Amino acid sequence: MLVRIYTDGSARGNPDGPGGYGAVLKYVDPKGALHEREFSQGYVRTTNNRMELMAAIVGLEALKKPCEVELYSDSQYLIKAFNEHWIDGWIKKGWTRGKKEPVKNVDLWKRLLAAKEPHQVTFIWVKGHAGHPENERCDALATQAADGDNRIVDQGV
Of 27, 20, 26, 23, the closest CA to residue 7 belongs to 23
Domain assignment present for residue 156? The answer is no
Does residue 88 have an active-site annotation?
no
Contact between residue 25 and residue 133 where contact means Cβ atoms under 8 Å apart: no
Q: Residues 19, 22, 42, 52: which is the catalytic one?
A: 52
Residue 16 scores a pLDDT above 90: no
Q: What is the DSSP string of 15-60?
A: SSEEEEEEEEEEEE-TTS-EEEEEEEEEEEEE-HHHHHHHHHHHHH
Q: Residues 20, 22, 119, 139: which is the catalytic one?
A: 139
Does residue 139 have an active-site annotation?
yes
Residue 15 scores a pLDDT above 90: no
Domain assignment present for residue 154? The answer is no
For residue 152, the 8-state DSSP code is B
Confidence of residue 39 (pLDDT cuts 50, 70, 90): very high
Q: Give the pLDDT mean for 6-16.
A: 91
Q: How high is the pLDDT of residue 124?
A: 98
Domain assignment present for residue 157? The answer is no
Domain assignment present for residue 49? The answer is yes
Domain assignment present for residue 13? The answer is yes
Q: Give the pLDDT mean for 65-78.
A: 97
Domain that holds residue 52: 2-147
∠ Cα 111 115 119 (to 5°): 150
How many CB atoms are closer than 10 A to CB 95?
Answer: 14
83: domain CATH number is 3.30.420.10
Does residue 20 have an active-site annotation?
no
Domain assignment present for residue 103? The answer is yes
Q: What mean pLDDT is reported for the chain?
A: 96
Domain assignment present for residue 43? The answer is yes
52 annotated among ligand-binding-site residues: yes
The domain total for the chain is: 1
Q: How high is the pLDDT of residue 98?
A: 83
Read off the pLDDT of residues 85-143 as tens digits, 9 standing for 90 and up: 999 999 999 999 988 899 999 999 999 999 999 999 999 999 998 999 999 999 999 99
Q: Give the pLDDT mean for 59-75.
A: 98
Residue 21 scores a pLDDT above 90: yes
Q: Residues 16, 38, 129, 148: which is the catalytic one?
A: 129
Residue 30 scores a pLDDT above 90: yes
139 annotated among ligand-binding-site residues: yes
Does residue 147 have an active-site annotation?
no
Q: How high is the pLDDT of residue 157?
A: 82
